[in-house]
Chains A and B, each alone.
Chain A
Amino acid sequence: DLDDWDKDEL
């Protein structure tokens, strides 16, 4: 689910 997208690292 795109709302749960939590990838803040590069």
Chain B
Amino acid sequence: MNVFRILGDVSHLLAMIILLLKIWRSKSCAGISGKSQILFALVFTTRYLDLLTNFISIYNTVMKIIFLACSYTTVYMIYGKYRNTFDSENDSFRLEFLLVPVTGLSFLENYNFTPLEILWTFSIYLESVAILPQLFMISKTGEAETITTHYLFFLGLYRTLYLANWIWRYHTESFYDQIAVVSGVVQTIFYCDFFYLYVTKVLKGKKLSLP
């Protein structure tokens, strides 16, 4: 466990807490893509099935349970408790455009043709594109609440720190997980455009709005 990895996990957790706090305090999930949140819940569910089969560490187990709980709570807030505030009109990304290729690819390109391994691979590929419905929603409405941009910033920061973690592990332990690294690079690229807007607008106190 290196410093990039732990900071990455903390950023990831912070992102999920920021999102939950936004919904809980404003009693609204306006501007949040329910579809992205469903995809993240699917990502955690399919990746963390090893909770039932393998014990890795207390840290690993506890974090997985927290991530699952945060993710499902968020989905419940959007489609249950605060569904009246959910902007389903603008959350119009077609999920089959992501799910079909990701499912196909996880059957074709995996480490082992076993159910658990294919589901793990599916979760890695799906995570790399799960934010797209959210980014699509922002590009459609042309704006995002500042707190939503903080959420996206910490999610992107988590991805970037994981890249640093893999570079570190490659040099210190010769560890290299090709599927995770390639997907992680793809995922991080999706945040680049957003990072630019975040630094040039949000950090200068302006609201994120697209021309």
Contacts and interface: CB of A to CB of B under 8 A. Distances in A.
Interface string A1-10: 1100101111
B67 interface: yes
Contacts of A7: 50, 56, 120
Contacts of B63: 10
Q: Is the interface of A mostly helix, strand, loop or mixed?
A: loop
Interface residues of B, number: 19
Q: Is the interface of B mostly helix, strand, loop or mixed?
A: helix
Interface of B: 5, 9, 12, 50, 53-54, 56-57, 60, 63-64, 67, 112, 116, 120, 162, 165, 177, 180
23 contacts: A1-B112, A2-B53, A2-B54, A2-B116, A5-B50, A5-B53, A5-B54, A5-B116, A7-B50, A7-B56, A7-B120, A8-B56, A8-B60, A9-B5, A9-B162, A9-B165, A9-B180, A10-B9, A10-B12, A10-B60, A10-B63, A10-B64, A10-B67
